[in-house]
Amino acid sequence: MVMSTSLENKYHSVIDWFRKNMPSVRSELNYSNAYQLLTAVILSAQCTDKRVNMVTPALFEKYPDPVSLASASEKEIFTLIKSVSFPNNKASHLSGMARMLVSDFNSEVPSSVEELQKLPGVGRKTANVVASIIFGAPVIAVDTHVFRVSRRLGLSDGDTVEKVEKDLTDNIPEEYRAVSHHWLILHGRYVCTARKPKCDKCGISEFCDYRKES
């Protein structure tokens, strides 16, 4: 997406509004360290953060670190996460992730997006979430909310997650990239919802292409 003066102004206006109105934002997943966040984000795929937060306390109590999780069977993990979406696949992913952390990374969650993506169950979005939140990497995780809001606002005309991520990365200053994920995902979750966006309650509707067209 080619940057024009109007697009540059739009990015500036949207970022400025979020900075003033949502200065302190964080993930709605509950975690206390990199291992817990990585586990929670893997579980959150096509599942609500609320559901994941109901599951993880017991999971983390029984398996507080990669070593203990690596020693668990997939069946044991499944028992604790069976209420999330696709529990069989996720039990396999968590088991494989923990075993690789132990065998390849000295039981430490790697900091780079590239190394994170080597772990079972970790795609680019998950890697970007962990890298940005835990390690402050200037990367933007694009999930369904971020994808939808970015296109509706006109921040990107990309038709794939990869294209939207590139547009956001190219046009959002490095110091705001990590927090921009939270701004956009929370805006999409509570205001710019998929079926009935609350345009009348949206503080950035004046900059929004979707609002202008509807």
Known catalytic residues?
Answer: 125, 143
In the 8-state DSSP scheme, what is residue 197? -
Q: Output the six-digit token pair for 148.
A: 């939808």
Rounded-to-integer distance, Cα 76 and Cα 66, Å: 15
Structural contact between residues 51 and 41, judged by C-beta atoms closer than 8 angstroms? no
| CA distance linking residue 100 with residue 153, whole number of Å | 40
Within 10 A of 93 (CB to CB), how many other CB atoms are there? 22
Spatial CB neighbours of 159, under 8 Å, sequence gap ≥ 6: none
The number of CA neighbours under 13 Å toward the Cβ of 10 is 19
Q: Which helix (H) or strand (E) holds 87?
A: helix 87-104
